[in-house]
Each structure stands twice: as C-alpha cells, then as structure tokens.
Chains A and B, each alone.
Chain A
C-alpha cells in the first residue's frame, strides 16, 4: 500500500516556466488537498477536492490550478512560476466523513515536492 505518492521530489524552475506537480493516492480517499510549507511556517492550504470533478480554493490559491478527473489523482499546476512560489508542496488525502467512518479520519500526507524558482 503506497499511500500518497508525489512526483517529482525536487525541481528547479526558471521564472515564467510552467509545471505540474503530480499526486496520486491508492487508498480510495474522496478528499484530497494541496498545501505549501515555507521555511519556519505551518502548512497553508492551496486547493482541495471532495471528489472527482469537484475542487475548491483554499487559503492561498493565486498562481495555481488544479483538476480532479479521477479519485486517485489530484495534480497541481503552476502556469507562470514566480520566486514567491519557491516552497515545499505537500499533497494529502483523507476518507470522507460519514458512511463507514463514524468519526473524523486524519489526513495522510505524501513526502512533498521541493520546488525552487530562480
């Protein structure tokens, strides 16, 4: 059981380039999330999704886009990379509330993508 897998692990981009951070989970979780973590700071939510075809903005969505065509995958796209987007990006997933889950379930995190924009 791989859990949440993020690729690539490291990437260096030039200003203005675009790229897609990949995230896939094999736990059949409905909920998926993208966070960024800047040095010495907590995680901030970029986008989240409660199921295939449904996405919504988090606290810091500007400069990013997401899509959710399948339950397993939740890619994050940077269209015009800027130095302010240098960060560590984490993808996470969790089961839905209700159904077989009578109580809240914790989020499961990938190991992150370390992105530098120069």
Chain B
C-alpha cells in the first residue's frame, strides 16, 4: 500500500526566502507525482504534475523534482511571497491518474 509523507508539517518563513517542501512515498512504481495548493476553506489547485519518466517540472517560481529510486519529491519555491501562504499537498498516482494517495500536507506561512 502506497504511503505518502510530507515534512515538515508546518513551516514559517520571512518574505523573500527560498524554501523547499519535501514529499516521500513508499512505492516507487508511481504513474505521476502531483503537487497541489489548498487555501483555507477552498478546494485543491493543481500546481505541478511530474510524469514518472520526468525528473522535474517548473512553473514560474515553482520547481518540483522527482527521484523515484529514492521515493522522494521536492517542491522548491523561490523568492517566497505572503500570497504563497497555504497548505501544500503532494499526491502519488499508482497505476493511473486516478487513485491518488495524498500526504497530510505542509502548512506554509510567509511573513511580510
């Protein structure tokens, strides 16, 4: 059974700092790895999706990497802003795009 762990559970940083969020998964036979953002009281918004054959994906100030052999993914946020404050969730897809297994998330607070 796939298990996804996110460390740290919470992170508070000053504005402008570069930061890394970590995600680990137990079964390396994944189809893809997805990063989502969740704002309070809202649904999830997809940030980046890394195919199993890829090593990384970039979107603006966000860069996500995938190392299947070690069962790890990282989300790098450059030059953090207060608007980046949210919960970040990673999810591993085993076998297809459905049946995502989610981590518990990292609550990020960026202080002005």
| Chain B positions near chain A (C-beta within 8 angstroms) | 4, 31-32, 34, 36, 41-46, 49, 51, 89, 91, 93, 96-105
Contact = CB atoms under 8 A, between A and B. Distances in A.
B45 to A, nearest CB: 7
Q: In terms of DSSP, what is the predominant structure of the interface of chain B?
A: strand
Interface stretch (A12-20, A68-76, A79-87, A99-107): A99-107
A110 B41 CA distance: 11
A75 to B, nearest CB: 17
B93 A112 contact: no
Contacts, number: 64
Interface residues of A, number: 26
A28 B41 CA distance: 26
Contact of A112 (B4, B32, B34, B43): B43
Nearest to A38: B104
A109 B45 contact: yes
Interface of A: 4, 31, 33, 40-45, 48, 50, 58, 90, 92, 94, 97, 103-112
Given A43-B91, A50-B98, 11 more contacts: A42-B104, A45-B99, A97-B96, A104-B31, A104-B32, A105-B49, A107-B34, A107-B44, A107-B100, A111-B41, A112-B42
